[in-house]
Structure 1
């Protein structure tokens, strides 16, 4: 049997491991009123280095233009206008961001994930079919048709999508629980990676012929 000091050490080590994993489960918590991102800094940290508070301005917390429709004249018929820490330096360490999504008739925001954020979406105009898929082994689809003023939540890291099946434009806004949520568009990542994944690997994974995979990899995959 382990001695009392050894048992104490094991308990403390386990507690430290548990609490550290909880601490790093989301964006770092701020330890001051704000930490405006200093994009000019050459120091690399998890997030951005803080700008000197003495030179922070109101514009560091400001962004205009989200009233303007995005260009949906692309193969998927949608456009995502981002408002994250790259556009608003004042979001650094605050753990939130926003996007505007425009959909042409028949427009799709393709299946994708946000590795660092849960998303809550509200429809401002039009009607959308939305959904997300749970992880293995069940891969259950939760889907809903949303009308103006309706909300839907996409849990962090799960594959989700929005589709405008109507004959008029649609607009949605979405809040995300990270200053920099990241986006992995499934088709782009699988078939448009650089360098490409072996077509032999993908043919076996999707249980289709190598020729089908070669055709998919030869397509242009839009960065949305």
Structure 2
């Protein structure tokens, strides 16, 4: 009985000592709550300058972009991304968030990529999607019909780096001998792949 009281007291003391650390471990609050972006201004560390509140209009709405964004079969990847970062959705300026809608044709993919300034969470709203890697994103429609997903980011400007384009279409280019050695393929293979990315995506 005495031992259980001692353990209970020890637990309570530990909880009291650790709780301030748990509170300090949460994400910081956004620096401003309401700052519609003036996209004509120069961005700073915390985003674009603010429009005067009196001139803010429908910058928090994006219903016109919520529908399917273009024909996902009109490009070699078979996908279409409708971006909703701060440049398309000025109301999220300084709020540390943004969203994208991605539409896929059957067999379509959004090429392997990373978002250098954000973590991504995705919700498939229609169809089936294959996704495997936690860091490098490689969504792929494994179904026989069109698929859609909505992704959200913890940044108003998440950025994107396409892995194939960075490796084979960068300027200045990565030297072919480097890619031959790194990928363990012949120079002809590297040159063939490079020729596919000369115009970007």
- How does the TM-score come out when normalised to structure 1? 0.70
Indicate which of 136, 139, 146 corresponds to 1:159. 136
Given that 2:65 and 2:82 are in contact with CA atoms closer than 8 Å, whether structure 1 keeps it comes out as no
Alpha-carbon distance between aligned partners in 1 of 2:103 and 2:194, rounded to the nearest angstrom: 27
Matching of residue 190 in structure 1 with residue 167 in structure 2: yes
Count of aligned pairs: 174
Q: How far is the alpha carbon of 1:221 from its aligned partner?
A: 6.2
Indicate which of 201, 204, 213 corresponds to 2:178. 201
SS in 2 for 1:211: helix
Q: How far is the alpha carbon of 1:68 from its aligned partner?
A: 2.6
Structure 1 gaps of 5+ residues are: 1-21, 133-153
Match of 2:59 in 1: 60
Given that 1:128 and 1:163 are in contact with CA atoms closer than 8 Å, whether structure 2 keeps it comes out as yes
Match of 1:3 in 2: none
Alpha-carbon distance between aligned partners in 2 of 1:66 and 1:38, rounded to the nearest angstrom: 23
SS in 2 for 1:200: helix
Match of 1:12 in 2: none
Match of 2:99 in 1: 98
Structure 2 gaps of 5+ residues are: 1-23
Q: How far is the alpha carbon of 1:181 from its aligned partner?
A: 0.6
- What is the 5 A alignment of 1:77-92? 77-92=78-93
Given that 2:168 and 2:197 are in contact with CA atoms closer than 8 Å, whether structure 1 keeps it comes out as no
Match of 1:114 in 2: 115
Given that 2:99 and 2:151 are in contact with CA atoms closer than 8 Å, whether structure 1 keeps it comes out as yes
Q: Greater helix share, 1 or 2?
A: 2
Match of 1:171 in 2: 148
Alpha-carbon distance between aligned partners in 2 of 1:180 and 1:112, rounded to the nearest angstrom: 15
Alpha-carbon distance between aligned partners in 1 of 2:199 and 2:123, rounded to the nearest angstrom: 24
Given that 1:96 and 1:178 are in contact with CA atoms closer than 8 Å, whether structure 2 keeps it comes out as yes
Rg comparison, structure with higher value: 2
Match of 2:9 in 1: none
Structure 1 runs of 4+ off > 3 angstroms? 28-32, 220-224
Alpha-carbon distance between aligned partners in 1 of 2:196 and 2:44, rounded to the nearest angstrom: 36
Calculate the aligned-residue CA RMSD, in Å: 2.3
